[in-house]
């Protein structure tokens, strides 16, 4: 399941992130890649002071984890601090599947969901699409600044080569309390239907039946 979330960050918040990234030092992205991904990873990743990193993470992650669509789709148990990446002309990230287990010793987590938050607009660069292989073929994603996309970490994906301009994104991963992607998709669809009934038919028998089924499926499928 791919879930796009518009306006995780508003225009002013995007501007603040961009200003911090403009003054940051960048290093080769391959340094943080797994052994297989290292061969196909060609980008730069941000390196700034701990204080600046905390400020940036508080802004970006604080907005993400409070977003209702994120909550409905993720069922997050653990979420990683994001990596802030920059792609300039000639840079790309070839086909890969994210490492199944990430994090430093003592803080390891299973990667169930990958998240990309776009930090500049599609008009700022050419190429650079996030390309995800799904059962319906390749899905090319290039969203507005501040928008995010969630997708299974188990899916093969890549970043197309940037041919002009600069692509900047934040990328993170999480372990979900609902391990199977198909179950998360069912719960997400039920949650959206439930929201619709809350608006259109509050107090209805249909809403009560749907809510009870949703809650009990969450109880059945959640691993804590």
Q: pLDDT digit string (tens) for 105-118?
A: 999 999 999 999 99
pLDDT (tens digit per residue) in 143-185: 999 999 999 999 999 999 999 999 999 999 999 999 999 999 9
Q: Note the pLDDT of residue 191.
A: 98
pLDDT at 36 > cutoff 80? no
Measured between alpha carbons, how far is 119 from 165 in angstroms, rounded to an integer? 13
Measured between alpha carbons, how far is 209 from 51 in angstroms, rounded to an integer? 48
pLDDT (tens digit per residue) in 126-137: 999 999 999 889
Q: Do the beta carbons of residue 146 and residue 121 sit within 8 Å?
A: no
Q: Do the beta carbons of residue 219 and residue 212 sit within 8 Å?
A: no
List Cα–Cα distances, 208 to 68, 188, 189, 215, in angstroms.
Answer: 20, 17, 16, 11
- Residue 23: which pLDDT band, with cuts at 50, 70 and 90? confident
Q: Note the pLDDT of residue 82.
A: 94
Report the mean per-residue pLDDT for the chain. 94
% of the chain beyond a pLDDT of 90: 84
Looking at domain 3-176, does it have CATH number 2.60.120.620? yes
Helices vs strands, H then E, count in the chain: 5, 17
Helix (H/G/I), strand (E/B), else coil: 114: strand
Sorted by where each begins, the domain ranges of the chain are 3-176, 181-221
- Residue 80: which pLDDT band, with cuts at 50, 70 and 90? very high
Q: Give the least confident one: 50-54, 186-190, 213-217.
A: 50-54
Read off the DSSP letter of residue 128: -
pLDDT at 206 > cutoff 70? yes
CA angle 81, 95, 82 (to 5 degrees): 5
């Amino acid at each position: 399941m791919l879930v796009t979330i518009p306006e995780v960050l508003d225009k002013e918040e995007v501007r603040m992130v961009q200003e911090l990234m403009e003054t940051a030092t960048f290093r080769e992205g391959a340094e943080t890649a797994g052994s297989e991904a290292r061969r196909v990873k060609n980008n730069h990743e941000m390196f700034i002071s701990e204080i600046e990193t905390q400020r940036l993470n508080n802004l970006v992650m604080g907005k993400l984890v409070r977003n209702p669509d994120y909550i409905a789709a993720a069922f997050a148990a653990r979420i990683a601090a994001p990596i802030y990446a920059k792609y300039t002309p000639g840079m790309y990230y070839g086909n890969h599947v994210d490492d199944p287990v990430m994090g430093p010793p003592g803080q390891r987590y299973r990667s169930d969901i990958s998240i990309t938050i776009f930090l500049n607009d599609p008009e700022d660069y050419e190429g650079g699409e996030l390309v995800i292989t799904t059962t319906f073929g390749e899905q090319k994603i290039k969203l507005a600044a501040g928008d995010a996309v969630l997708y299974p970490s188990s899916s093969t994906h890549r970043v197309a080569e940037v041919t002009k301009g600069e692509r900047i994104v934040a990328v993170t991963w999480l372990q979900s309390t609902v391990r199977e992607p198909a179950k998360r998709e069912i719960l997400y669809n039920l949650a959206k239907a439930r929201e619709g009934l809350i608006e259109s038919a509050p107090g209805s028998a249909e809403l009560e039946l749907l809510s009870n089924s949703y809650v009990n499926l969450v109880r059945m499928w959640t691993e804590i």
